[in-house]
A and B are shown apart, each in its own frame.
Chain A
Amino acid sequence: MSDTPAANPLLHARGLVKRFADFTAVDGIDFDVAPGEAFGFLGPNGAGKTSTMRMIGCVSPLSGGTLRILGMDPSSDGPRIRARLGVVPQADTLDAELRVRENLETYGRYFGLPHPVARRRAQELLEFVQLQERGNDTVERLSGGMKRRLTIARALINEPEVLLLDEPTTGLDPQARHLVWDRLYRLKQRGVTLVLTTHYMDEAEQLCDRLVVMDKARIVAEGSPRHLIDRYATKEVLELRFPPDATPSLDGTLTGIADRVEVLPDRVLVYTNDGDAAAAAIHARGLRPESTIVRRSSLEDVFLRLTGRSLVE
């Protein structure tokens, strides 16, 4: 990772630390995010992603290190920074006591928007997230995907320069996820800087220009999704599934077939630049997996390589 910050980074962190009474959630991480960038924190649950986001959101005080957001210091300029951020938290914090439209208007009022402006933006944002028909509904009547879109709309009421998204599609079905990704992609095209956490590799690949891989409170790698895959994984992966009792006895039998072999509880991953050739070699050795799939390497493989564990456990 480079120590020279990009020209006028929107976010600039050096040696960022977050400690709670009994554990260290973030243990000295560095990152810079440039204007207009889509930047991701990829890592499993408990890696320190949410703690990092809460510090960037100027809600959680730092335990150490420096953090500059929009050129300002979160400890002294919290309200001024937050006025220019949009936050989509991991847990749903919509106001169940208010209706859909009121959720947006009231949120606009928190930012000091005059009533007519808050009303106008609420209407525009309901259309943007395709909830224009649901403005007068109570929040409970919305599906999970709709709630997430409403939360995104709410985070945009102040026309933020930076949108912070903590696990934006966790718990959503595939269709709802694609709808969220589509809206986020549009925001990115408009020049909004996106900072997101995810433990989904496909989400990181879809949305992020650049990302850091976090594990156990630290950053273990940084780069574009493509760059990380090129660097830490092979071009292709051969996935083998054996009958449950056959997997442990594989020790040694795959030696020499590929650059690297990972034996997971449910499958074996063979890292190679030619999956079909590796599959043929395995058959030649007399091994008979129940299924073989050749696929491109993904960030999941990068994570496995870096940490020895899978991303979603």
Chain B
Amino acid sequence: MTGTLRVLEHNALVYRRTWRGSIFASFVSPMLFLAAIGLGLGTLVSRGSPQGVNGVSYLDFLAPGLLATATMQTAFSETTYRLMARIRWSGTYDAMLATPLSVHDIRNGELTWLALRLLLVAVLFFVAMVLFHTLHSATAALAVPVAALNGLAFAAPMIAFTATQQTDTGFAVIGRFVITPLFLLGGAFFPIDRLPSVIQAIAWLTPLAHGVALTRGLSLGTIALPAGLLHLGVLVAYTAIGAVVAGIALERRLAR
């Protein structure tokens, strides 16, 4: 436990250099997206389907989906080059492992740090949603921790992936073939049931589809308990299994 806190403290010290820019970006980005796609494109969508999407305006439909994609993308960017640098290029973890800290402290510290970073991203996004009046229910507040968990469901397996990489070329592959397709097709911009059934099935195997279903259901107040628990279970499973595999991969990489 204290080891986790030491790694957390290190990350906080590093973040102190960049927090202003990071917070600004995490707030401005959703504002731009909601304005451009939600309002701008949304007007055209509303013209095409006056009853809205799933009964709400396109902006209100879109916003919680984008919230989930935002934490997914933050998780991806925070677990690729930054982590690779610490594993391989700058030796940060090797330096930590010459102290009483262990590989598990590093994993737990990084995951806890990511949870806080993702929570911050989700809170700032949520503020933008409030400003755009996209929320329909008091349960919407729960979309914030759920979005953070959605990010962790990507971050934990990504730590495992990064720990196995010798170069950074794999990151571009994951970005191109996993993150971008999920961003576009994972349910944020339109309901997954519009997709061919094979692609639908694939989408439901990923955390994002469940993350979007949850954040949207909570934000619009349409969530049903059994389905909600199922989605939550998938996110928890990705996070938990990812964390275990990440621990093994980091151990293999750092304690050879």
Residues of A within 8 A of B (CB): 20, 57, 59-61, 78-80, 82-83, 85, 87, 89, 91-98, 102, 106-107, 109-112, 154-155, 158
Closest to B7 in A: A110
Query: Interface-forming stretch among B25-33, B61-69, B90-98, B118-126?
Result: B90-98
Q: Do B100 and A112 touch across chains, with their CB atoms under 8 A apart?
A: yes
Q: Do B14 and A60 touch across chains, with their CB atoms under 8 A apart?
A: no
| List of B residues within 8 angstroms of A111 by Cβ | 99-100
Given contacts A20-B256, A78-B102, A79-B102, contact A110 B94 (CB under 8 A): no
B138 within 8 A of A: no
User: Measured between alpha carbons, how far is A89 from B95 in the docked complex, in Å?
Assistant: 8
Partner of B92, one of A80, A85, A93: A93
Q: Do B98 and A59 touch across chains, with their CB atoms under 8 A apart?
A: yes
User: Measured between alpha carbons, how far is A111 from B9 in the docked complex, in Å?
Assistant: 13
Q: Do A97 and B99 touch across chains, with their CB atoms under 8 A apart?
A: no
B131 within 8 A of A: no
User: Measured between alpha carbons, how far is A133 from B45 in the docked complex, in Å?
Assistant: 63
| List of B residues within 8 angstroms of A87 by Cβ | 98
| List of B residues within 8 angstroms of A91 by Cβ | 91, 94
Q: Do A110 and B255 touch across chains, with their CB atoms under 8 A apart?
A: no
Nearest 7 interchain pairs by C-beta: A93-B91, A87-B98, A110-B99, A79-B100, A93-B95, A97-B14, A83-B100
29 CB contacts below 8 A, A to B, read A57-B98, A59-B94, A59-B97, A59-B254, A60-B255, A61-B255, A79-B100, A79-B101, A82-B99, A82-B100, A83-B100, A89-B95, A91-B91, A91-B94, A93-B90, A93-B91, A93-B92, A93-B95, A95-B92, A97-B17, A97-B92, A106-B13, A109-B6, A110-B96, A110-B99, A111-B99, A111-B100, A155-B98, A158-B99
Q: Do A110 and B91 touch across chains, with their CB atoms under 8 A apart?
A: no
B133 within 8 A of A: no
Q: Smallest distance from the beta carbon of A200 to chain B beta carbons, Å? A: 23
| List of A residues within 8 angstroms of B100 by Cβ | 79-80, 82-83, 110-112
Main secondary structure of the interface of B (DSSP, over half): helix
User: Measured between alpha carbons, how far is A273 from B42 in the docked complex, in Å?
Assistant: 94
B10 within 8 A of A: yes
Q: Smallest distance from the beta carbon of A214 to chain B beta carbons, Å? A: 19
User: Measured between alpha carbons, how far is A155 from B6 in the docked complex, in Å?
Assistant: 17
User: Measured between alpha carbons, how far is A160 from B218 in the docked complex, in Å?
Assistant: 54
B contact residues, total (Cβ < 8 Å): 22
Q: Smallest distance from the beta carbon of B112 to chain A beta carbons, Å? A: 16
B2 within 8 A of A: yes
User: Measured between alpha carbons, how far is A93 from B99 in the docked complex, in Å?
Assistant: 13
Q: Smallest distance from the beta carbon of A17 to chain B beta carbons, Å? A: 14
Q: Smallest distance from the beta carbon of A94 to chain B beta carbons, Å? A: 8
Q: Do B13 and A110 touch across chains, with their CB atoms under 8 A apart?
A: no
Q: Smallest distance from the beta carbon of B96 to chain A beta carbons, Å? A: 6
Query: 6 more A-B contacts (CB under 8 A) besides A97-B14, A98-B13, A110-B10?
Result: A59-B254, A60-B256, A82-B100, A96-B90, A106-B10, A155-B98
Q: Smallest distance from the beta carbon of B95 to chain A beta carbons, Å? A: 4
Q: Smallest distance from the beta carbon of A84 to chain B beta carbons, Å? A: 10
User: Measured between alpha carbons, how far is A116 from B91 in the docked complex, in Å?
Assistant: 26
| List of B residues within 8 angstroms of A78 by Cβ | 102
Q: Smallest distance from the beta carbon of B193 to chain A beta carbons, Å? A: 45
Q: Do A107 and B255 touch across chains, with their CB atoms under 8 A apart?
A: no
User: Measured between alpha carbons, how far is A111 from B92 in the docked complex, in Å?
Assistant: 15
Closest to A115 in B: B9
Q: Smallest distance from the beta carbon of B72 to chain A beta carbons, Å? A: 25
Name B205-256 residues within 8 Å CB distance of A: 254-256
> When each residue 8-27 of chain B gets 1 if its CB lies under 8 Å from chain A and 0 otherwise, what string results?
01100110010000000000
User: Measured between alpha carbons, how far is A112 from B105 in the docked complex, in Å?
Assistant: 13
Partner of B255, one of A20, A59, A92: A59
Name B155-208 residues within 8 Å CB distance of A: none
| List of B residues within 8 angstroms of A94 by Cβ | 95
| List of B residues within 8 angstroms of A155 by Cβ | 98
Q: Do B99 and A107 touch across chains, with their CB atoms under 8 A apart?
A: yes
User: Measured between alpha carbons, how far is A20 from B98 in the docked complex, in Å?
Assistant: 21
User: Measured between alpha carbons, how far is A61 from B103 in the docked complex, in Å?
Assistant: 13
Name B73-119 residues within 8 Å CB distance of A: 90-92, 94-102
User: Measured between alpha carbons, how far is A89 from B98 in the docked complex, in Å?
Assistant: 9
Closest to A51 in B: B256
| List of B residues within 8 angstroms of A83 by Cβ | 99-100
Closest to A80 in B: B100
Q: Smallest distance from the beta carbon of B106 to chain A beta carbons, Å? A: 11
| List of A residues within 8 angstroms of B101 by Cβ | 79, 110
Partner of B91, one of A85, A89, A98: A89
